[in-house]
Amino acid sequence: MILHVDMDAFYASVEERDRPELVGSPVVVGGTPEGRGVVAAANYVAREFGVHSAMPAAQAKRLCPHAVFLRPRMEHYAEVAAQIRSVFERYTPLVEPLSLDEAFLDVTGSESLHGPALSIARDIKREVRDGLSLVASVGVAPNQFLAKIASDLEKPDGLVVVDPTQIQEFLDPLPVRTLWGVGRVTGEKFDDLGVRTIGQLRQLPVKTLQHHLGNNGTHLWELAHGIDDRVVTPEQEAKSISHEKTFTDDIKDVAVLRAWLLELSEQVACRMRRQSINAKTVHLKVRFDDFQTITRAHTLSEPTDVTQEVWQAVVRMLTQKMPSRTLCVRLLGVGVSNLHHGTKTQMDLFEDESHDRNSRLDEIADNIKDKFGSSSLQRGLGMLHNIEPKSGTDGPNRDQYGE
């Protein structure tokens, strides 16, 4: 059995935990409303006013004028995520992080030691709540797709189990837009076909779906039947590290996309630094509103774990390597591969002065945080401070860190 554990409003919940006076107030983590920042996370109080992630911070301010806006503390969230992962690993070594706040766990081989999957899910929720003062929602199911669907159904603090003998009974009543890959354009095609639920989709012949949706039709037909053959891949065995973000509303603003690429780059870089990994190849994934998915890759001259260098590479691919078409983005992903374990490669200062400077800044910042705490120093990059790259550059070089 597979668990999908998803931390509820993770960034905002960590801030509420660390600052109890915020409990009960609408909390928004992300850019400031005065600039071009976006919402990275909103607690459930703020969501009642219509605030959601990927929304411009200025719009969030209009919807909820009394909200508390906080800058993200990515390094701190990464530390908390590592603590959460240590809870997971007490129950199974098969843990595949999807981002800082969610992961798949394969507990099939752990049930003889820790009890049924449902009991493991309850124990994990309890340990996260009692030990870290955070709340997780968990889906329990025979595969990853079903587990992720289940974890979303009863948020916050949800626990939903999909019985392997009742998969269709679970899926059929759900809206067809619940399926991975059904965005606005695909949803409109289903509207034209009179398909509103997964059960109605399941009744269509696969050839009909292929005719209307191409290869994606086959994929959606399989999901509607509960078919998902992927296996949980532990992070230490992975050949790549990546993070993706699916947006509630499609994004057309390049500045907003750059801001989200920054957060995704930061999450990837945090994981690399935590594991003493450097990567030589950077990947960008863009899914448009019609579900066309484009991937691009760029191989660096030397391996890196520097956030800015990962970000610069994906921004360059976004602005220079995408097809000529309307930019209306449903999903963004940032990844790295060609991984190198161990000590960083020291580059010649005269060959790449900025790499050496930024690498040393990372090291200094890590040392300061180890000594004085994670909140003693914060990264001063685009979405956090609404910094726009200066003309002729791909991102900020100076003032990468700010108090």
Catalytic residue numbers, as ranges: 102
Residue 234: phi, psi to the nearest 5? -60, 150
Give Cβ neighbours of residue 236 (< 8 Å, ≥ 6 apart): 275
What angle, rounded to 10 degrees, do the helices at 307-320 and 353-372 form? 130
Residue whose C-alpha is closest to residue 136's, from 155, 109, 161, 111: 155
Q: 402: which 2 tokens?
A: 């700010």
Which residues does residue 269 pair with via DSSP β-bridges, in sequence order?
A: none
Give residue for tokens 């059929």: 172
Backbone angles phi, psi at 250, to 5 degrees: -60, 145
Peptide bond preceding 156: is omega within 30 degrees of 0, i.e. cis?
A: yes
Contact criterion met (CB below 8 Å) for 311 and 362: no
* DSSP labels, 2-60: EEEEEETTHHHHHHHHH-GGGTTS-EEEES-TTTT-BEEEE-HHHHTTT--TTSBHHHH
User: How far is Cα 94 from Cα 22, in angstroms, rounded to an integer?
Assistant: 35
Separation CA 386–CA 377 (nearest Å)? 17
Question: What's the rounded Cα separation, in Å, for the pair 282 and 241?
Answer: 10
| β-pairing verdict for 277-288 and 240-251 | unpaired
Residue with token string 């945090």: 270
Length of the chain equals 403
Helix/strand/coil for 124: helix
Residue 138's DSSP bridge partners are: 5, 159
Enter the DSSP assignment of 36. Answer: T
Cβ proximity of 256 and 36 under 8 Å: yes
Cα dist. 241→3, 32, 97, 359 in Å?
20, 29, 9, 19
